[in-house]
């Protein structure tokens, strides 16, 4: 399958590292002009440089803006007025005892993980429908379905994204615009190796360590290893393509079989 996104512009929120950076790279390789987003000019500049090394000749637009705020969203729309592909990847996570999560923390997780995506969808969806082509995606998590005891506020925000995605898919019905969410499973991102080695023997080689971690702490996984960000990016690039024109309103799993269900 050859995916060609030449002539399309994509905005990937929270794309200076991890899954977001992998998605930005995948879209650039497919020919899209990619807007890379982070909160500071320094982190965005570094990410843009790294992407151009991986994809020589890539068309990249730096978007330094805190998209968890209305002002940040306005700045992004000012820098990139028209977007054909919107990937809502921005998110925060953290562990906390369920009874100790404050009102402010509940609000922060909703603001960053959910409302930021809603604002940008609200800003860009009308242009997509007017042009009769567009792709909107929300990067969710297995936590949307398997609520983690240590991260109920995070799970709540990811569950909300599934509802938001389905709702906006209905809003875009018949327009040529597709709206989907991607359910990412346990992923090998920055800092996760330290987390894994906190739970398994430190002298194990990484491949053995992550498999020991998955067996002991994520036994539901059928993949039995962490997912690489590029594997999630592959699904996102496909959903961004013309080939995915009949896939909308869905919650597609790249979870390594972590969620024990036949359908999401």
Reduced to 3 states (helix: H, G, I; strand: E, B; else coil), residue 173 is coil
> How many CB atoms neighbour CB 205 within 10 A?
7
The catalytic residue positions are 154
Non-local (6+) Cβ contacts of 118 within 8 A are 164
CA distance 55 to 61: 14
- Whose CA is closest to 231, among 35, 22, 32? 22
Enter the tokens of residue 166: 């389905």
As given in the structure block, the two tokens for residue 233 are 């990016």
**Three-state DSSP state, 129:** helix
């Amino acid at each position: 399958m050859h995916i060609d996104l030449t002539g399309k512009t994509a905005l990937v929120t929270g794309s200076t590292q991890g899954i977001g950076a992998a998605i930005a790279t995948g879209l650039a390789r497919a020919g899209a002009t990619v807007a890379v987003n982070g909160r500071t000019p320094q982190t965005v500049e570094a990410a843009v440089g790294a992407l151009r090394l991986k994809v020589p000749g890539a068309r990249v637009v730096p978007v330094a803006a805190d998209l968890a705020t209305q002002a940040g969203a306005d700045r992004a729309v000012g820098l990139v007025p028209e977007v054909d592909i919107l990937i809502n990847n921005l998110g925060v996570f953290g562990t906390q005892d369920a009874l100790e999560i404050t009102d402010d923390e509940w609000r922060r997780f909703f603001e960053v993980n959910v409302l930021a995506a809603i604002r940008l969808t609200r800003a860009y969806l009308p242009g997509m429908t007017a042009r009769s082509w567009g792709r909107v995606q929300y990067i969710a998590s297995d936590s949307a379905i398997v609520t983690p005891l240590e991260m109920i506020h995070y799970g709540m925000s990811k569950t909300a994204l599934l509802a938001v995605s389905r709702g906006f898919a209905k809003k875009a019905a018949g327009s040529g615009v597709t709206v989907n969410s991607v359910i990412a499973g346990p992923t090998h991102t920055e800092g996760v190796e330290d987390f894994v080695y906190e739970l398994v023997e430190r002298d194990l080689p990484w491949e053995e360590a992550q498999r020991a971690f998955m067996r002991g702490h994520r036994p539901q996984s059928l993949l039995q290893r962490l997912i690489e960000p590029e594997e999630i990016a592959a699904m996102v690039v496909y959903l961004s393509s013309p080939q995915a024109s009949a896939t909308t309103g869905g919650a597609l799993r790249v979870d390594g079989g972590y969620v024990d269900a036949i359908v999401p």
